[in-house]
A and B are shown apart, each in its own frame.
Chain A
Amino acid sequence: MMKFIKRFYLSIILFFLYVPIIVLIVQSFNAGKSRAHWEGFSFRWYQELFNDAAIMQALYVTVSIAVLAAIVSTVLGTLAAIGIHAMKKRPQSMMMTLTNIPMTMPDIVTGISLMLLFIFTKVERGYWTMLLAHVTFDVPYVILSVLPKLKQMNKHSYEAALDLGATPTYALFHVILPEIMPGVITGAMLAFTLSLDDFTVSYFTTSPLVQNLSTLIYSQAKLGIKPTMNALSALMFVSLLALLLVVNRRSSKDEIKK
């Protein structure tokens, strides 16, 4: 009985989380434009999707910024984590405080402060400022996912490598990096997702001419979202789901092999 109640409770919570997604996907197959009335099944919006220049442009901006921001912030963050880890106590805690600032700052304040910076330095807001802002809020997450791995690492292996004649560069790439790789990958993935989904910071750091999907959706929200947007998000959702299933399948296969 208890087990049944638990399962029932979980399914209700999950249902609550999935309802809007189901609604969205169903709407993307609606032949009519209305949100409320079902006018029959069609692929109309999926066909129109590829002709919608605004959405395709926004998709390009979103994905390219997420990829670039993930790469830049992973490199910056991993280097920073290695550096911070090797620091003495005082500078280390100072760096951690600095790292915590952007993480605790509300998104809206991050966005506005960067907007002020760009206006103050007379930089025109657009693609590059958005990228810069995304890197800024991504890096702390990379650092925080790499640092634990560095702490788990044997302290002496780096020094041993140096003693055995490795240059610091060689030791970095062949001793430290392989050990912390899982943390680096987690950080990169985290940065990518955060950047892909960001609205608030992008909203303040870009111009109306360069929009990512979130800001485009927001600007359409008042007039009513085009069903093509639903079609796009349904497509993205399903492809991410497929990716997840493939990765899961592969990792469980690896486990069996071991």
Chain B
Amino acid sequence: MNNLQIPAWGIWAMLAGFAAFIGLLVAYFKRNHGLKRPIFASPYTLWIILFTVVPCILIAYYAFTDVNGQFTLDNFKNFWDSNYDARKTMGPELEMYLEMGFTAEDLGLGRGTVNVDTLIYSLWMAFLCTIICLVLGYPTAHIMADREFKLGSTLVILFVIPMWMNFLLRTIAWMSILEDTGLINQVLGWFGLGPVKLMYNSGAVLLGMVYNYLPFMVFPIYNVLNKMDYKLSEAAMDLGCNKWRTFYKVTLPLSLPGVVSGITMVFMPAVTTFFIPRLLGGGSTEMFGDLIERTFLTANNWNVGSALSLLMMVLILLSLGLLRKVDPDGEGGSMI
């Protein structure tokens, strides 16, 4: 199943088919001048069916079958009970270790269901990350949209520029700031303070996540605040509201769509982050994205990996559905 020693003709066949389809379309288009515009969307429709819908179906297929292609729900059962999985994969070795005096906890079994733990941990981290981004990002967006400053667009560019540097490199740069011989500890050293352990814990992972996702919180809120009619808050002030009351009663409710879309844009990628925990967190802070990747590429278990991906997708769709209810028109807009 995992045999990759096959010539690359397949991709060429696919692309040739696609080109032939477009050629056919053009020929058809040339002959019938009265062609309707909706046909323009057909290459894209074909593309998305081939490369988005079919792959999704494949994931669902692997999630519900076992190695022999038989229908099964075991992949999900294993998810809830990863002890069972560990016992199965380790087999006699596990018994050996247990006899040698290792406790179940040493072997990572005592944690109960490891996968569920990882899921809850990722959700918790993503939640914290979203809250921190909101707390840091809302005031930032508010100040950026401030009419006193008249710097809005320049500031937007200043927020975009860091994103041009490869985000992996930026995250790695944090390593050289946080590590035991890193910048912070060197500065502390000048004052005679001992090295503080900053890396390889959840705090470092959280810092990396907030660092990477903060702009995604700032932009949607800024967009909404910037488009907001400032006369409304002026009117509120004229009618006797003080600053805080104006903010609470006028600005905040009007900016909610931006907040909602900011939360979406931070929370979604945060749950599935998979390189930050590896770089900044060491082994103890595995998140759901890492788990999926590891299940696929290291453990080579596509069926359980697909089941995990499917769970992830369902989770994301559920939370998206919830958010849509709050912001039905998608007013918050995205990065565009």
Q: How far is the CB of A136 from chain B (nearest CB, A)?
A: 4
Any chain B CB within 8 A of the CB of A9?
A: yes
Total contacting residues, chain B, CB less than 8 A: 94
- Interface members, chain B 13-67 (any A CB < 8 Å): 14-15, 29, 33-45, 47-48, 51-56, 58-59, 62
Question: How far apart sit A123 and B170, CA to CA, in the bound complex (Å)?
Answer: 33
How far apart are the CA atoms of A107 and B177 in the complex, in Å?
Answer: 28
B169, A80: Cβ atoms closer than 8 Å = no
Q: Are B336 and A114 in contact (CB under 8 A)?
A: no
Min CB distance, B56 to chain A, in Å? Answer: 6
Closest to B36 in A: A86
Chain A binding site: helix, strand, loop or mixed by DSSP?
A: helix
Inter-subunit contact B54/A117 (CB<8 Å): yes
A40 at the A/B interface (Cβ < 8 Å)? no
Q: Give A6 to B183 CA distance when docked, in angstroms.
A: 27
Q: Are B269 and A107 in contact (CB under 8 A)?
A: yes
- The CA-CA distance from A108 to B55 in the complex, in Å, is 13
Nearest residue, chain A, Cβ from B164: A240
Do B293 and A98 touch (CB < 8 A)? no
Query: Which A residues lie within 8 Å of B169 (CB)?
Result: 24, 217, 225, 229-230, 233
**Is A237 in contact with B164, judged by CB distance below 8 angstroms?**
yes
Contacts of A82 in B (CB 8 A): 37, 40-41
Smallest CB gap from A145: residue in B: B336
B166 and A197: CB pair below 8 A?
A: yes
**11 additional contacts (CB under 8 A) given A107-B272, A124-B6:** A82-B41, A106-B269, A106-B272, A106-B316, A109-B313, A123-B6, A136-B52, A139-B48, A190-B335, A190-B336, A230-B169
Residues on B facing A (Cβ under 8 Å)? 2, 4, 6-8, 10-11, 14-15, 29, 33-45, 47-48, 51-56, 58-59, 62, 136, 139-140, 143-144, 146, 148-149, 155, 157-159, 161-177, 179, 181-183, 186, 211, 214-215, 268-269, 271-272, 274-275, 279, 289, 292-293, 296, 302, 305-306, 309, 312-313, 316-317, 320, 334-336
